Structure 1
C-alpha cells in the first residue's frame, strides 16, 4: 500500500514541467486569477490539480487544459517541427496565492 502512494506522489511531482511566464500568462494571472503551467502531454486535469495542490500547498478551484501544436521551423532547405506540448491554466480558490519569487 505504501509503495502505491509513493508511486502516485512521484508521478504527481513529474506532471508540472514549468510555469509559463509570458505577457499573456501574466495578463491572465492578473485579470482571471489563473496561473499557467507547462505540463506533461499525458497529464489529466485531476492529476494537474493534485500536483499543484501537492507542490504549492494551495487549493485549486478548476483546471483548463490546452494542447499546443509545435511550430514548423525551417533551416535552409530542411523542414522540421517542434514537439507538441500541453498548457494548463489553474484557477485557485479565493484567498489562495502562489509566489514564485519565494525561493529567491
Structure 2
C-alpha cells in the first residue's frame, strides 16, 4: 500500500486556485503515477473530508534560460479536487 503523503506532493497556491476554493475546489501537485482513485483516497485520509470529484491534468515543463544556458522545468501532474457540499480543508483557511 502506498503512503497517502507520497501521492500528494504539495498544494498549489496561486490566484486562480484561491478563487476556485470559493467553489469548494482545491488544487494539488500529485505523483505522476497516481490515478484518480488513489488521489481521492489520499485526500480523504490526510484531510478527513469527503471528495466528490477529482480532475487531473499533466502540466508540461517550460523551457527556461539563464544567460546562454538553456534548461527545462520538470513536468508534473496537477489534480483539482472537488469536495462535497459543506466540507472544507482547514489548512487553506486564512490564506
- TM-score, normalised with respect to structure 1: 0.83
Which of 76, 85, 89 is matched with 1:98 structurally?
Answer: 89
Q: CA deviation at 1:77?
A: 1.8
Structure having the higher Rg: 1
Residues matched between the structures, number:
93
Structural RMSD (CA):
1.4
- TM-score, normalised with respect to structure 2: 0.91
Which residue pairs with 1:87 in the alignment?
78
* Alpha-carbon distance in 1 for matches of 2:30, 2:78: 6
* Alpha-carbon distance in 2 for matches of 1:97, 1:75: 41
Which residue pairs with 2:12 in the alignment?
20
Q: Which runs of 4+ in 1 moved over 3 A?
A: none
Which of 60, 64, 72 is matched with 2:55 structurally?
Answer: 64
* Alpha-carbon distance in 2 for matches of 1:58, 1:9: 19
Which residue pairs with 1:49 in the alignment?
40
